Structure 1
Amino acid sequence: MNRALTRTPAVTTPAPAASYDDLVARVLDGEFGPDPRTRHIAVAFSTRQAVRHEGRSGGYRNEVLSLRLDAAVGSCAVEPGALPDAAVEDCVGADIARLLQHPLRPVRVAALDAYLMEVLPHTPAHGARPWSLPAGSSLRKSRARARAVTGLLDTPPGTRVLVVGVVNSLLEALRTRGMSYVPCDLKGGTTEWGEAVRTDAPAELERCDAVLASGMTLGNGTFEPLRDHARRHGKPLVMFAQTGSAVLPRFLGSGVSAVCAEPYPFFWLDGGPGSIHRYRAQAPGAAR
């Protein structure tokens, strides 16, 4: 009996970006696809959320700006209340090139994410590998996502991980794997286990073996120092990305070692099953 062979599609992705500004310049030059001056945002919206998982002592809030470009949605998280209402209206009908030069960084990031989501969607042909999330409570889905994210850290127990953008489920998953961590977030505060959250990530880099960082670093301008440090010192840098889920894979092999990409709608919006997409940098010399 003949048996069909299942083959993994060849990965066809552009060369890694040298920096965020380099990526934007290449998009504006049309290197990735259609002229961004001809691609217009049809829908812009913001999503606001407050959550306290069952059994957890604290909660948090999220606010995300999202821009729709045909079937693609690009997103960038912002500090709750920081996004002017006029920003959403300003994006509707605007072309991508104009939004890539918008005075507000979250608008620029969401526009770049929308464009790259359209031209380089999360498919195996572009290096993505799907990871299923189960249906269930927000905590169950949060823990499942945390396992997917921390599983991209190819480091042994005892590794000291700088976590930029504190998510208690991620810290819990690192604890389960026997890794220590330094929690860091611009908001400060404490973790679920009473640990002080640092606020200056660059100051903690030298004493950590690996970095696990939120895509929110794109939106607040703190991504490049993390990427540059990881690139210069050969440290693993794993990004978990609701913000810029289509942007961050463009840095694989240029300081970023892996990405867990989670485009809109995010796991906390729906109790049903879902999926996220995992990327790893290819080994030097591997065929593309």
Structure 2
Amino acid sequence: MSAAVGAGAAVTAVRDSTAPTSYDGLVSRVLAGRLGPDPRTLRIAVAFTTSQAVRHDGRRGGYRNEVLSLRLDRAVGSCAVEPGALSGGAVDDCAGADVALLLEHPLTPVRVAALDAYLMHVTPHTPENGALPHPLPAGSSLEKSRARAKAVVELLDVRAGQTVLVVGVVNSLLEELRSRGVPYIPCDLKGGRTEWGEPIVTHALAELDRCDAVLASGMTLGNGSFEPLREHALRVGKQLVMFAQTGSAVLPRFLGAGVSAVCAEPYPFFWLDGGPGVIHRYGPGHGNGRGHRSGQPSGHRDSCTEATL
């Protein structure tokens, strides 16, 4: 029996359908004005950071998240960073700057957020651009995290016994995989152990030969590990599913170029509000809900939003 959702009909590709050959290639196309307006003519109106600290009752510890976001007209592009990693002047550098200038900024998170804002501006998450909206119910941050995790894992197409490399440890995602009987390898630069006592590996590329599919955070864009993961998936035909607050408008561009599916979550993120929300799914397997579920779900777990590699 399948341990997770089988693939459904493919979603229509995003507008300007030719997939880029690399992340740098995508940036070059934007700078050349091939995907929309000349980025030199577009300016970031607002730059801001969102910092979060969480500690749930009954948990052994907590976590922190920080996200850089850039507002371009109606669009907001984002890149998560390690708390405290941004220089004090980064936000000031961005406010009022043109997008082209920020695409060549010395700080990677600024470049990623600027690219995300531009692509969100020219190809927002709409059905016309290949996105299928998926509602998140109102609830606590934990309840919404678990609902998001289910929506993400439904994009995987793995058979019984196949192993998923999870790049960016998010407890709700691990819980959902466990409830479906899907073996996984948890990977995060921070190392340590999962809530279930499993060791967390720290070098994703060293684990690629041990897995049958990869489930990775958009934060891999910010730490430079996305391209090696994408190239591996493309070369060997391995499934690569991305869950993205960082670069939610960037990653759908790589569908068919190593990326199999994307769960895109633009700002504002689920953890900012207790009301209903929406995420956007691209690629096969969306929302079918098929698959064998072995065992019982674990108790409620909190999770970080997007963990690092």
* Shared fold per TM-score greater than 0.5: yes
Counterpart of 2:4 in structure 1 is: none
Verify the 8 A CA contact 1:256 1:281 in the aligned structure 2. no
State the Cα deviation string for residues 108-145 of structure 1 (Å, max 9, x = none): 00000000000000000010000000101111000000
Look up the match of 2:142.
Answer: 139
What is the RMSD computed on CA atoms of the aligned residues?
1.5
Equivalence map 1:48-197=2 (5 Å): 48-197=51-200
> Counterpart in 1 of 2:204?
201
Sort the Cα spacing of 1:54 and 1:149 in 2 relative to 1 into closer, same or farther, 3 A.
farther
The equivalent residue for 1:32 is 35
Q: CA deviation at 1:10?
A: 9.0
Return 5+ residue gaps in structure 1 as ranges. Answer: 1-7, 283-288
For the Cα contact (< 8 Å) 1:259–1:279, is it kept in 2? yes
Q: Which residue of 1 aligns with 2:5?
A: none
TM-superposed deviation, 1:194:
1.1
Moved over 4 A (4+): 8-11
TM-score calculated relative to the size of structure 1 = 0.93
Partner letter of residue 121 of structure 2? Answer: E
State the percentage of identical aligned residues. 75
| Residues 1:11 and 1:67: Cα distance change in structure 2 (over 3 Å) | closer
CA contact (8 A) 1:157 1:177 kept: no
State the secondary structure of the residue aligned to 1:141: helix
Counterpart for residue 273 of structure 2: 270
State the AA in 1 paired with 2:17: P
Aligned with 1:85: secondary structure?
coil
Farther off after superposition, 105-114 or 45-54: 45-54
Corresponding residue of 1:286: none
Q: 1:94 offset after TM fit, Å?
A: 0.5
The 1:13–1:53 alpha-carbon spacing in structure 2 relative to 1, beyond 3 Å, is: farther
Cα pair 2:188 2:202 within 8 Å, conserved: yes
- Number of residue pairs matched? 275
Q: Kindly state the Cα deviation for residue 57 of structure 1 after the two structures are TM-superposed.
A: 3.0
| Map of 1:4 onto structure 2 | none
CA–CA distance in 1 between the matches of 2:80 and 2:122? 22
**Partners of 2:155 and 2:284 within 8 A in 1:** no
CA 1:281 to 1:94, structure 2 compared with 1: closer, same or farther past 3 Å?
Answer: farther
In 1, are the aligned partners of 2:20 and 2:26 still within 8 Å (CA)? yes
Contact 2:13 2:255 in 1 (8 A): no
**Do the aligned partners of 1:56 and 1:192 also contact (CA within 8 Å) in 2?**
no
Q: Paired residue for 2:47, among 41, 44, 51?
A: 44
CA offsets, 1:200-251, max 9 Å, x none? Answer: 0000000100000000000010100100111011111000000000000000
Runs of at least 5 residues in structure 2 that lack an aligned partner in the other structure:
1-10, 286-309
Conserved 8 A contact 1:253-1:281: no
Residue 190 and residue 9 in structure 1: after superposition, are their counterparts in 2 closer, same or farther (change >3 A)? closer
Which residue of the other structure, out of 207, 224, 228, is the alignment partner of 1:225?
Answer: 228
Question: Can you list the C-alpha shifts for 1:41-64, whole angstroms capped at 9, x where unaligned?
Answer: 000000000113445433211000
TM-score (norm 2): 0.86
TM-aligned CA distance change 1:133 to 1:55, over 3 Å:
farther
Alignment pair present for 1:255 and 2:277? no
Return the letter of the residue paired with 2:176: A
- Contact 1:33–1:119 (CA<8 Å) still a contact in 2? yes
Give the number of the structure with larger relative contact order, counting CA–CA contacts within 8 Å between residues 6 or more apart.
Answer: 2
